[in-house]
Amino acid sequence: MNRPAPIERNVADSPGTQVGEPVIVARNVTVGYKLHRERKMLTALRDISLTINKGEFVVLLGPSGCGKTTFINAISGIVLPWEGSIEVNGAPVTGPGPDRAMVFQDYALMPWRTVEANLRMPFEFQNLGLSKDEVDARIARYLELVDLKGFEKSFPYELSGGMKQRVGIARALATEPTILLADEPFAAIDAMTREAMQSELERIVMATGQTVVFITHSIDEAITLGDRIAVISRRPGRIKEVVDVNLPRPRFDGDVKSRPEYAKIRERIWDLVKAEALSGAHGE
Ligand code: ADP
Ligand code: MG
């Protein structure tokens, strides 16, 4: 197997470093945008350093506009840092690649394609060297994993929000990427279905061993899903602190929210985000 070489720890002063096998290494990443109309630059993220290890579930938590999507897009290679570097599996990110797959808030399904045909898309765009039979087998396997067997021929409009997002997750997983990048995937899903989806995602990543970077602005979603939570502050986006979540899995089988550790982590995170949440509420 092509394992990434261990990376020396010159990011000791960054809050995110942990011992293990690094899959994503962001070093002093600054990302900005050119605002053409206003003829100025906007720094969305400043000096972000974070190491994410294989099989880890890392949550990016922060208020709207703090740069979470920018960071995940930089990992996926859609945007490139102005300064600093991001390595994935030991190689610098220069653009999107099959080792990273994205799950979007709005599902991003093709409405004119059946569920099955939506799962086939990434295989059409990227040559992964699989035969048609192998692709068919993958599609069947991942639809079963997300509990959508029997819906192969359905169209997206025939599905509920939760089902559509399960198609989005299956599509991302079917190419067997090392890394799953999820940008507020459950934000548009009603509260009850959302909990079921969180539990489902936990079950799936426990089964696949995927490394996950997951964006949310829900503190509870962050704690119930994450191994670590990178709390990001706004203007420009910086990692305020990385909080460890040492709660046993599966979290959804036990009553994780009633554990004293849960309350402690919640309090810590609330302390970190309180000031910004309030400034946002005052319309700043
Ligand atoms: P979040 O996902 O945390 O809500 P984003 O990464 O989307 O934050 O945005 C961070 C900052 O960068 C915001 O101020 C946003 O307005 C700005 N921004 C994001 N994308 C662009 C873009 N394509 N062009 C210009 N500014 C952008
Ligand atoms: Mg966003």
| CA angle at 63 for the pair 80 and 213, rounded to the nearest 5° | 50
Cα separation, 120 vs 126, in Å, equals 10
Residue type at 168 in one-letter notation: G
Ligand 2 centre and the CA of 51: distance in Å?
21
Which parts of the chain fold into alpha helices (H)?
A: 68-76, 115-125, 132-145, 161-174, 191-208, 219-225, 260-281
Residues in Cβ contact with 230 at an 8 Å cutoff, skipping those fewer than 6 apart: 15, 16, 50, 58, 59, 60, 61, 239, 241, 242
- How far away, in angstroms, is 204 Cα from ligand 2 center? 24
Separation CA 217–CA 129 (nearest Å): 38
Return per-residue pLDDT of the chain as tens, 284 residues: 343 333 333 333 334 444 458 999 999 999 999 888 777 888 999 999 999 999 999 999 999 899 999 999 999 999 999 999 999 999 999 999 889 999 988 889 999 999 999 999 999 988 888 999 999 999 998 898 888 999 999 999 999 988 998 999 999 989 889 899 999 988 888 887 888 888 888 988 888 888 999 999 899 999 999 999 999 998 889 999 999 999 988 888 768 888 899 999 999 999 998 877 776 655 44
Pocket of ligand 1 (CB under 6 A): 33, 35, 42, 44, 62, 64-70
Task: Give the closest residue (by CA) to ligand 1 atom 21.
Answer: 33
Q: What is the dihedral of CA 158, 163, 167, 170, to 10 degrees?
A: -150
- 27 beta partners: 85
DSSP string, 126-152: S-----HHHHHHHHHHHHHHTT-TT-T
Sequence-separated (6 or more) residues with CB below 8 Å from residue 203: 250
Q: Give the number of other CB atoms < 10 A from CB of residue 210.
A: 21
Q: For 223, phi and psi rounded to 5 degrees?
A: -75, -40
